[in-house]
Copies of this chain bind each other. A is one copy, B any other.
Amino acid sequence: MTAPGVVSWALLLEYDGTPFVGWQRQANGLSVQSVLEDACARLNSGAAVSTVAAGRTDAGVHAAGQVALAALPDRYRAEQIRDALNFHMLPHPVAVLRAAPAAPGWNPRFDAVGRAYAYRILNRRARPALDRHRAWHVERPLDADAMAEAASLLLGRHDFTSFRASACQATNPLRTLDRLDVTRHGDMLTVAADARSFLHHQVRNMVGTLKLVGEGRWRPAQVRAALEARDRRAAGPTAPPDGLMLLAVRYPQDPFGGGTSRTEACTPPIPAA
């Protein structure tokens, strides 16, 4: 329920995760949520505003299309919400791309039916100059075809315990992986992952495991065996956060009324439900 005089806004957000401890507000550092909530408070006579996001991205993880909900006084138009929040979030690398009134009871996390992530690996000897903090730098040559083959063995509905952080709070480790593509453009590999939802660290743990295949240390079939072990110790290490980007969140009805964020230019759109 939204209180009288208050409007619930759906917000489409872009951020560079590099300087943040992650989405979630924490005592020990700057979070995207705290930057957004502090800006919201400026539109609420200084009173605290709490927000909810579709996905609680980790420290260093980026977003091109995060979606959040914030309740704000009903005296603003959508463009004013967007522009005022952007003004008050300066100089932090967070931007509100769109604001739209949310349907009653709408929740950006629980109503989401699809999440699209991209993970980028810069695969060359020289360190990244242009992609610093935006890709995992892997020096050993990776076999993208072998990684793609291994990735295909993870598609579908499975118990993803082997790819789940020990701190994961989900009650159920079953997830349906709709897409896990590995493509190469020059020395940049992109792993595109789509699912209704992911377990904590699931994308980074899958990528860390696929890298073992790319290096030739694992055969693709070993990734399937790791999945079936339902044991975190059976899979590979967690890939670093720098390469991960939340591209888009999908809902049965687009809260922004069509047209969402710009995502990476070459990333195909999230498949329809």
Answer whether A97 and B82 are a contact pair too, CB < 8 Å, given A185-B265, A186-B261.
Answer: no
Among residues 216 to 269 in chain A, which have CB atoms less than 8 Å away from a CB atom of chain B?
261-263, 265-266
Which residue in B93, B130, B265 is a CB contact (below 8 Å) of A129? B93
How many protomers of this protein does the assembly include?
2
Which residue in B16, B185, B263 is a CB contact (below 8 Å) of A132? B16
| A62 interfacial contact with B, CB 8 Å | yes
A245 closest partner in B (C-beta): B130
| Separation of A129 and B14 alpha carbons in the complex (Å) | 6
How many residues of A are counted as interface, with CB atoms below 8 angstroms from the partner's CB atoms? 31
Whether the Cβ atoms of B265 and A188 lie closer than 8 Å is yes
Give the Cβ gap from A205 to chain B, nearest Cβ, in Å. Answer: 24
A94 closest partner in B (C-beta): B129
Question: Which one of A47-55, A119-127, A162-170, A173-181 is at the interface?
Answer: A119-127
Whether the Cβ atoms of A125 and B16 lie closer than 8 Å is no
Give the Cβ gap from A252 to chain B, nearest Cβ, in Å. Answer: 22
Answer whether A15 and B95 are a contact pair too, CB < 8 Å, given A262-B185, A263-B186, A265-B188.
Answer: no
A contact face: mostly helix, strand, loop, or mixed: loop
| A83 interfacial contact with B, CB 8 Å | yes
| A96 interfacial contact with B, CB 8 Å | yes
Whether the Cβ atoms of B93 and A132 lie closer than 8 Å is yes
Answer whether A82 and B126 are a contact pair too, CB < 8 Å, given A132-B93, A261-B186.
Answer: yes
| A141 interfacial contact with B, CB 8 Å | no
Which residue in B94, B95, B125, B266 is a CB contact (below 8 Å) of A265? B266
Q: Binary interface profile of A, 94-106, with partner B (CB < 8 Å = 1, else 0)? A: 1111000000000
| A64 interfacial contact with B, CB 8 Å | yes
Q: Binary interface profile of A, 16-43, with partner B (CB < 8 Å = 1, else 0)? A: 1000000000000000000000000000
| Separation of A132 and B263 alpha carbons in the complex (Å) | 15
| Separation of A95 and B122 alpha carbons in the complex (Å) | 13
| A152 interfacial contact with B, CB 8 Å | no
Which residue in B15, B125, B186, B262 is a CB contact (below 8 Å) of A187? B262
Interface residue ranges, A against B (CB under 8 Å): 14-16, 62, 64, 79, 82-83, 86, 93-97, 124-130, 132, 185-188, 261-263, 265-266
